[in-house]
Chains A and B, each alone.
Chain A
Amino acid sequence: MPIVKTITGVGHRVVNAVWRIGIAARFFALTLTHSGSGFRRFGLIKKELFSTGVMSLIIIIVAGLFVGMVLGLQGYETLKRFGSESALGVMVALGLVRELGPVVAALLFASRAGSAMTAEIGLMKATEQISAMELMAVNPIARIVAPRFWAGVISMPLLAAMFSAAGIFGGYFVGVVQIGVDEGSFWSQMQAAVDFRHDIMNGVLKSFVFGVVVTVIALFEGYDAPPTAEGVSGATTRTVVTSSLAILMLDFVLTAMMFGGSE
């Protein structure tokens, strides 16, 4: 019966997906319970902060600058029709601080740092470094996974803030320096419209959530990768795809919870 076969296939896929989510959740819980020793040896986290945070700085700042510049240009073109060019600062700042800063920074972070994390851990597994650690009675989750997790969680909000700041500077450059929007109204309208708690802190919260999700996905995919060359490359691809989709979906949910409807 081909129908029964198809239905069984669907069921098999669903069960597998749920199974994987369950394993990932256990992995996340294990990471959290084993992060105590990571904080005692802060040097480990610092080393990971360098490779995830500092090395992502250039891509984040350059991307932020250009996103801000495009926002300034496009926003000006649209706002000009309504004669409200002076609201350009508001548009650039709110767009960046609420949405584009956390989301685009997290997408870049997933492809720049997340994929590297997956490949690194996957290769460690393929070359049996992780098994060697277990043999030496070193817990690989505490030694390898937890420091990377915390480094990602710490650097993501900082990177998102830098992205937004660079973007606002880019918008300022295009809007005020190039096009000639009034500088005073650019900044003052921005300050009047952007609320610290409602806009900026919610943006920081978003990027924190994205940091947790991206690093957990990257670490889990690496730890779970089949220890072969194809397995590692497949896991790296899955990291980028899954975390990008997770970021965009979670962004909708978070936005609906933070800003949705209620004025």
Chain B
Amino acid sequence: MERTKLDLWVGMFVVAGIAALVMLALKVGNLSTYNVSETYQVQAYFTNIGGLKPKASIRSAGVLVGRVTDISLDTDRYEAKVSMSLDKRYQFPKDTFANILTSGLLGEQYIGLSPGGDSEMLKTGDQIKKTQSAMVLEDLIGKFIYSKADGADK
């Protein structure tokens, strides 16, 4: 085989392989949405996080504004401490309300932020004070059964 032809084929092979990798990274993976745009970190305490997982999305009015970075149990207050990083472009008032919501009936869980009316904005290291825990289906069913049983006694 001629030298230049060999070079051409090998070059095409390597370029095609790298193009496939880039395509996987950008089109299939989340590298394009993994924007390194500036973020700020806030914490929130929940009495029960249900099935929330790290990397779960944080949405406000349905728009993705950040991701959960870390979940741990705070043994001082025995509550779940959720750290999240929010996009710098979206500023939220200090009295923002954080809810753990479920997308669909059995879908994955995410944090929904509903902004309050404070004029001061959340900064890195701040804590979201007003939180509402996840709705746990078993608890709901349990309550429902208890209330039914109460009703039957009377």
Chain A's interface: helix, strand, loop or mixed, by majority? Answer: helix
**Nearest CB in chain A to that of B31: its residue:** A196
| Chain B residues with CB below 8 A from A161, complex form | 17, 20-21, 24
Beyond known contacts A50-B6, A54-B10, A154-B14: 13 more, CB 8 A cutoff: A50-B9, A50-B10, A53-B13, A53-B17, A57-B13, A97-B24, A158-B13, A159-B17, A165-B23, A168-B24, A194-B28, A196-B25, A204-B21
**Nearest CB in chain B to that of A46: its residue:** B10
Chain B's interface: helix, strand, loop or mixed, by majority? Answer: helix
Partner of A191, one of B10, B16, B33: B33
| Chain A residues with CB below 8 A from B34, complex form | 196
In the complex, whether B145 has a CB less than 8 A from a CB of chain A is no
| Chain A residues with CB below 8 A from B17, complex form | 53, 155, 157-159, 161-162
0 or 1 for each of B30-68: is its CB under 8 Å from A? (1 = yes): 111110000000000000000001010000000000000
Task: List 15 A-B pairs, Cβ < 8 Å.
Answer: A47-B6, A50-B6, A53-B10, A54-B12, A97-B24, A154-B14, A158-B13, A159-B17, A165-B20, A187-B27, A191-B28, A196-B25, A196-B29, A196-B30, A196-B31
In the complex, whether B139 has a CB less than 8 A from a CB of chain A is no
In the complex, whether A251 has a CB less than 8 A from a CB of chain B is no
Residues on B facing A (Cβ under 8 Å): 1, 6-7, 9-10, 12-14, 16-18, 20-21, 23-25, 27-34, 53, 55
In the complex, whether A243 has a CB less than 8 A from a CB of chain B is no
Residues of A in contact (CB 8 Å), total 31
